[in-house]
Structure 1
Amino acid sequence: MAPVVLIDGPSGAGKSTLADALVVAWPGPLRPTLVRLDDIYPGWQGLDAAVTHLREQVLAPRRLGRPAAWRRYDWERRELAEWHPVDPARPLIVEGCGTLAAAHAPLSDIRVWLAADDRIRKQRALARDGELFRSHWDQWEAGWDAYREREAPERQATIRLAGTPDIRRP
């Protein structure tokens, strides 16, 4: 079975940048499938729902050798959209807040925790997502803090990295 890599950490830590770099540098003939939880969260309070969706629709079926797929959330329409199948023959990289929930550990092979200074990550997140995110920052952070307290994602990690200020996209 192709490996599953999960990348977690707070908003603005550099998860997307790291995931993009892994896809580009992946060895072998099959490029990994990249799933971004930003495409799954059903709104600003959707962290827990996305964690459940990832486990039930992608990670668990894939580990059992069954068909897996994830459903995109349309942020503009504020509704669920189309399904995206996940090819079990290809490596899978999933990045986003919530990937290292405790129940995901036995369903994955490599688990990366990416940390960054709070000031730096807020600057990055707002630069990336603009003023829209600013109005939801505190709401998102409250959900993130609850997830982190409940799931202790850092403890699930097999690799811990620092998302330093000089991290760049490939």
Structure 2
Amino acid sequence: MEGPVRPDAAVGILADACASGVRTVLIGGRSGSGKTTLARMAGSRTGHRVVHLDDFYPGWGGLAEGSMMVARDVLAPERPGFTRWDWGNDRPGEWVALDPREVLIVEGVGSLTPANLRAARRRGRCFTVRVELDGTERRKRALARDPGFAEWWGYWAEQEERHAADPGNVLGTVDLTVLSG
């Protein structure tokens, strides 16, 4: 495990990893920690596609299901993709197809699980990242980004706690830890 590093250094490390043959980058951490920002920066630098779990969690109670969709759908060897979640209408939306040959940067709470890591490794080399930030700052960032998240913060945080407490997750064995903030 490399790190901890700051986000700007992490972007360079991720770009180097992708240039050396990494096919999937999995970026995890809790809400508001800086996962999306890091993924966008890495995607911009490398030109690789970024997939956000926020685009397909099936509603506010959907962290576990969204996590499973990474291995089952996003990283599927044939016809990969995901069903976008229509947050405004609280229902499934359209199918988003992915190219199985493209390098993917996948970010979101729940991205770092054994099943997702196995699926990523079936595609080729994988690089894992955990982004950390203290809880107060995470909450402030998340609510500034999405004020509607305030009423769901506690409910979502409980799901994050269950994910983090799962002894099978790979949060503690990542290739890189990023200290955001």
TM-score bracket, normalised by the shorter chain, equals: 0.7 to 0.9
Partner of 2:102, secondary structure, is: coil
The answer for unaligned runs of 5 or more in structure 2 is: 1-20, 121-125
- Deviation of the 1:89 alpha carbon: 2.3
Does residue 21 of structure 1 match 2:38? no
- Deviation of the 1:107 alpha carbon: 2.5
- Deviation of the 1:153 alpha carbon: 3.6
Paired residues for 1:8-157 under 5 Å: 8-26=28-46, 31-59=47-75, 61-62=76-77, 66-108=78-120, 109-130=126-147, 132-150=148-166, 151-157=168-174
Provide the C-alpha distance between the structure 2 equivalents of 1:13 and 1:36, rounded to a whole number of angstroms: 14
Equivalenced residues, count: 155
Work out the percentage of aligned pairs sharing the same amino acid: 32
Partner of 1:146, secondary structure, is: helix
Q: State TM-score, norm by structure 2.
A: 0.81
Q: State TM-score, norm by structure 1.
A: 0.86
The answer for unaligned runs of 5 or more in structure 1 is: 165-170
Provide the C-alpha distance between the structure 2 equivalents of 1:15 and 1:133, rounded to a whole number of angstroms: 17
Partner of 1:94, secondary structure, is: strand
Partner of 2:71, secondary structure, is: helix
User: Is the alpha carbon distance of 1:110 and 1:137 closer, same or farther for their aligned partners in structure 2, counting shifts above 3 Å?
Assistant: same
Provide the C-alpha distance between the structure 2 equivalents of 1:5 and 1:83, rounded to a whole number of angstroms: 22
- When the two chains are superposed, the root-mean-square deviation of aligned CA atoms in Å is 1.4
- Deviation of the 1:161 alpha carbon: 1.0
CA shift digits 1:65-120 (9 cap, x unpaired):
x2211110001111101111111222101111000012222223011000101111
Native 8 Å contact 1:3 1:91 kept in 2: yes
Q: In the alignment, which residue of structure 2 is the partner of 1:158?
A: 175
> Match for 1:96: what amino acid?
G
- Deviation of the 1:2 alpha carbon: 6.5
Provide the C-alpha distance between the structure 1 equivalents of 2:149 and 2:175, rounded to a whole number of angstroms: 30
